[in-house]
Amino acid sequence: MKSARPLAAAVLAFSLLALPAQAAEAVGRWQGLLQIPGSQQPIRTVIRIEERRPGELLCFANFIERGADPFRCTGFTVEGDKVRFTIPQTGGRFEGDIKPGGATLEGTWSGRPISFARTAPADAWRLDASTHQPSLIRADDGTFIEVLDFGGSGPPLLFVAGQNATGHVFDAFAARLTAKHRVYAVTRRGFGYSDQPPPSPETYSARRLGDDVLSVMTALKLDRPILAAWSMGGSEVSSIASRYPERIAAAVYLDAAYAYAYYAPGNLIPAGANPAIAVNALAAKIRASDGAGILPAETAKRIDDILRTDLPALEAELRANREMLLKTPEPAAPGGATPAITLRIFDAMGAGQEGFPALKVPVLAIFAIPAQGVVSQTNVDARRAQIDRYRAGNPNARVVEIKDADHAVFRSHPQEVVREMEAFLDALPRD
């Protein structure tokens, strides 16, 4: 990991040369106490302002008592000594000024006075209780990806977070595996402290996200790591394992082996995944049917095949999804506001899905079975059928069900997950 830190430092040193003097004065780490109405204790708040690329200032806020995940500032501006930004998830808006001397940043947070002090490393509050070492690694397309190094010794184990989560989701769990493994976690592009490229199906496809993980593996010189995914992180792991099985030792799915990670007709979890995958495959087939050098008769034959097989299959997937959705209760409204760009990233990830086959690497697939009443009976039935399809299509995989578990099964049942992972990983062949 040490090799990754000089890169981030060099980027910062170079970029500061390109900033106007007043903007450069804003770059740094600021911390202060935020008083929230109804809260007896103030929240330790850290604002990090940096420039990863010339002319591009970024701002992140951490609310230490509310968790380790950073919030990306929106509407962030530095004009002279005035600094403004908003945190959509909390509804907070800061407006203030860098005071003469550059040691304090004073203003209001949603109308309440607050003062931030520029902080030296020795006086900085820890952003979370984990002992991991964070760094940024540049992917092959120039996107910076956050990597957390939890330490440990033994074969490398790399965790991939779920949608809208960061590598910090594993902060409490990763330490349970460091006795036998060198443990890392990555934060997907678009989330947390990683870069946030403009969303499109190309920039957030399963293949592109998998390539980010490959870039991390290359930068850290990880020799055939074990990849462990939670939730939609399963798509990245399946992308890598299906294309480059020789580059990994095994794949572990923590309630992550659903439609985005393994395609089988009739899969309904998550809703909409199978139709999206079918549409993407159909679009590729249509493009290929009229390529250069293809004779008209061959094109017509390929179109006949699409009309005879692909369109009826897509219709069947759509009808099955519709039926399940009509029987699914409306979810509770989430707390806070999701930034508009995050919603567009969700859409881009959905549009960039693809169907993955059974893998040719050792696989541990852990499925969380929710407690009775947590999800609808329709969901329970769909989940059961999907697990059965996974078993049938992946006869060499070790499939484990943990009852009364949350989707974040490694949080609700950490001991069971560690036991299953260690038994599986200990049995892997050693080079």
Return the pLDDT at 299.
Answer: 86
Predicted confidence band of residue 54 (pLDDT cuts 50, 70, 90): confident
Q: Report the b/e string of 175-185 with b at 16+ CB within 10 A.
A: bbbbeebbbbb
Q: How far apart are CA 302 and CA 305, in angstroms?
A: 5
Return the pLDDT at 290.
Answer: 72
Across the range 220-244, mean pLDDT stands at 98
Global pTM reads 0.90
Predicted confidence band of residue 202 (pLDDT cuts 50, 70, 90): very high
Q: Is residue 314 a contact partner of residue 279, using CB atoms and an 8 Å limit? A: yes
Q: What is the total residue count of the chain?
A: 431
Q: Which CATH class is domain 133-265+336-426?
A: alpha beta
Return the pLDDT at 128.
Answer: 87
Instruction: State how far the alpha carbon of 239 is from the alpha carbons of 186, 208, 223, 353, in Å.
Output: 16, 9, 18, 10
Higher-confidence position of 36 and 86: 86
Predicted confidence band of residue 254 (pLDDT cuts 50, 70, 90): very high
Predicted confidence band of residue 297 (pLDDT cuts 50, 70, 90): confident
The 3 state secondary structure assigned to 349-392 is HHHCCCCCCCCCCCEEEEEEECCCCCCCHHHHHHHHHHHHHHHH
Higher-confidence position of 387 and 55: 387
Predicted confidence band of residue 337 (pLDDT cuts 50, 70, 90): confident
Instruction: Give the chain's radius of gyration (CA, Å).
Output: 24
Predicted confidence band of residue 364 (pLDDT cuts 50, 70, 90): very high
Predicted confidence band of residue 19 (pLDDT cuts 50, 70, 90): low
Return the pLDDT at 1.
Answer: 40
Neighbour count for residue 298 (Cβ, 10 Å): 13
4-123: CATH topology is Lipocalin (2.40.128)
Across the range 359-366, mean pLDDT stands at 98
Q: How far apart are CA 6 and CA 127, in angstroms?
A: 21
Across the range 351-373, mean pLDDT stands at 95
Q: 154-198, pLDDT tens digit by residue?
A: 999 999 999 999 999 999 999 999 999 999 999 999 999 999 999
Return the pLDDT at 7.
Answer: 46
Return the pLDDT at 244.
Answer: 98
In the predicted structure, residue 295 carries a pLDDT above the cut 70: yes
